[in-house]
Structure 1
Amino acid sequence: MLGVCPESVRRWKRQWEQGGASALRRSPARGRPSKLDDAQVEVVRAALEQGAQAHGFEADLWTLERVGLVVERVTGVKLARASVWRLLTGRLGWGLQRPQRRAVERDESEVARWVAHEWPRIKRGR
């Protein structure tokens, strides 16, 4: 009648008799426990907020490998790349950011002046 296996119905009835309606509620999926506790995650957060150069890297740019090295240095726990990604996006709430590819010498006011004055003159000349 319900389109489910009779054993499932018996299991649900047994759960309801033992724990009531709350026993029938879906429980969150359990997985392997995290290697880092909340205190360690906060230590990692503080270390990452100091910047990559503070940890001996040339550029102030974080990669998964660099974050993994810092995590290992400050907590002693070695994480796989996928675990580093989950740490950054899940527990720390950080997201993917890519550096803009622009010249360091770029002068925004000069670019705006060129677009406003020079470009129309060049376009008219065609």
Structure 2
Amino acid sequence: MRYPQGGGLTAERRAFREHIRMQAAELFALGHDNAAIAKQLRVSVRSVQRWHQAWEHGGTPALESKGQASRPKLSEALFEVLEQELAKGPVAHGWPDQTWTLARIKTLIGRRFHKTMTLSAIAQMLHRHGFSHQVPARRAIERDEEAVTGWVKETWPQVETPWRRSGPGSASKTKPASR
């Protein structure tokens, strides 16, 4: 299962799972068997056994949701500061061009907030806040369209391997002729 928000469940999904645990608590109070509860709620017997043990020690409150598994590394206030820093551009932070990369953002977070994050966590955080991968709106001024067209027509076909063989092949991975 892929989780949104870079880990953990959505609030709706947490509430749904808590509702199932509360149904199980009602059935525990009525004295139902763990296997019967698991079948009725369509969950594993092991989960019901864990819930039952928690219910016996702490009652129904022990089955309530504890909230998100982890908090984000950057709070909303820190993310606003990060947004302001990103708006200044990479050149203002010492990079030679105006391209933000995940590695550069990771370095900026480390310098500014003294926190470390993985590149994927940074990408998920940015996506959560509405950022997306962007392609430059304009082509470089130095771009030579004739050279690009010539390279695509002449050089690329020689570099690219053909998708299909000209002769018959084999689906066998063990047959040397199929490679």
Give your verdict on TM over 0.5: yes
Higher relative contact order (CA closer than 8 Å, sequence separation 6+):
2
The 5-angstrom pairing of residues 1-126 of structure 1 reads 6-8=36-38, 9=40, 30-90=68-128, 92-99=129-136, 102-104=139-141
Q: CA deviation at 1:35?
A: 1.2
- Sequence identity percentage: 28
**1:43–1:74 CA contact under 8 A, matched in 2:** no
1:68/1:81 contact within 8 Å kept: yes
Size of the alignment, in residue pairs?
92
Unmatched segments (≥5 aa) in structure 1:
107-126
TM-score (norm 2): 0.43
Measured on the aligned residues, the alpha-carbon RMSD in Å equals 3.2
Give the drift of 1:103: 3.1
Once the two structures are superposed, what CA deviation does each residue of 1:46-105 show, in whole Å capped at 9, x if it has no partner? 100111111000011000000111111111111100111012111x21111122572315
Question: Runs of 5+ in structure 2 lacking a partner?
Answer: 1-34, 42-47, 49-54, 144-179
What residue in structure 1 maps to residue 19 of structure 2? none
